[in-house]
């Protein structure tokens, strides 16, 4: 994608993601009636099986699927997130940069409470239609404080793609994120930062763009 177009798309990301989440909540509350168009079909389905954490790609896919299910404690088990603010929540209107001393990793209770507020209990506000792929990516730069905290643990960049489902719209998203090799498998490495006017989780999705509209219904 040309640089100018990519910048324009990224500028729309917060609004599109919030629109997708609001519409996805309607789907959560709906009865499960299928929505159909000439080239795109959605029908209520059983949750996708978690691929586990035996590879970096599997760990990344599992993390996103756990967000969709609202299993935030299990998602925390598959993640490392730098705590740049000493465990204190940052108001929506303020930004949080990766700067200053790093006090450690975000605690489980902080992570779970924050996601419950941002995505709703049980993932109510999020509807991932799919996590389509997770493949090896290029290099990702890290802050020295994070690299020091990781020590000798290996870091594997992964590129994840998927779709978000709204009430009548489907959005594609993608994200490059580091995955850390641990003694028991792999964990995604989250930024722990946020832009002003955005929630923390919005940094975990990128290049949100509309790709189709679902129309009509089947009996």
Q: For residue 187, what is the enclosing H or E element? A: strand 185-189
Q: Give the Cα separation of 131 and 39 in Å (integer).
A: 20
Query: Residue 149 CA to chain centroid, in angstroms?
Result: 23
| Residue 87 zone, left/alpha/beta (φ > 0; ψ -120 to 50; rest) | left
CA separation, residue 143 to residues 72, 111, 179, 200, 202 (Å): 26, 21, 15, 18, 20
Which pLDDT value is given to residue 4? 45
Q: Give the Cα separation of 210 and 190 in Å (integer).
A: 25
Q: Give the Cα separation of 128 and 210 in Å (integer).
A: 14
Q: Where are the domains of the chain?
A: 3-213
pTM of the model: 0.77
The Cβ of residue 156 has, within 10 Å, a number of other Cβ atoms equal to 18
**Interval 51-79: pLDDT, tens:** 999 999 999 999 999 999 999 999 999 99
**Overall size of the chain counted in residues:** 219
Which pLDDT value is given to residue 139? 80
Backbone angles phi, psi at 187, to 5 degrees: -135, 145
Which pLDDT value is given to residue 15? 57
Give the residues of the chain that fall short of pLDDT 50: 1-12, 23-46, 216-219
Is the separation of the CB atoms in 193 and 176 below 8 Å?
no
For residue 152, the 8-state DSSP code is: T
């Amino acid at each position: 994608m040309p640089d100018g177009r990519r910048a324009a798309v990224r500028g729309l990301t917060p609004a599109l993601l919030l629109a997708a989440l609001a519409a996805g909540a309607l789907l959560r509350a709906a009865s499960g009636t299928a929505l159909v168009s000439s080239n795109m079909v959605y029908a209520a389905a059983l949750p996708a099986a978690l691929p586990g954490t035996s590879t970096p790609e599997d760990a990344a896919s599992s993390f996103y699927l756990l967000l969709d299910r609202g299993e935030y404690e299990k998602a925390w088990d598959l993640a490392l997130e730098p705590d740049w603010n000493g465990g204190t929540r940052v108001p929506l209107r303020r930004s949080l940069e990766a700067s200053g001393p790093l006090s450690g990793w975000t605690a489980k209770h902080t992570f779970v409470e924050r996601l419950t507020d941002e995505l709703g209990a049980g993932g109510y506000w999020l509807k991932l239609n799919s996590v389509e792929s997770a493949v090896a990516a290029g290099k990702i730069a890290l802050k020295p404080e994070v690299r020091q905290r990781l020590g000798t643990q290996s870091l594997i960049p992964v590129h994840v793609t998927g779709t978000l489902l709204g009430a009548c719209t489907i959005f594609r998203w993608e994200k490059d994120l580091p995955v850390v090799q641990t003694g028991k498998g792999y964990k995604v490495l989250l930024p722990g930062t946020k832009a002003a006017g955005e929630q923390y989780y919005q940094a975990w999705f990128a290049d949100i763009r509309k790709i189709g509209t679902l129309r009509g219904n089947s009996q």
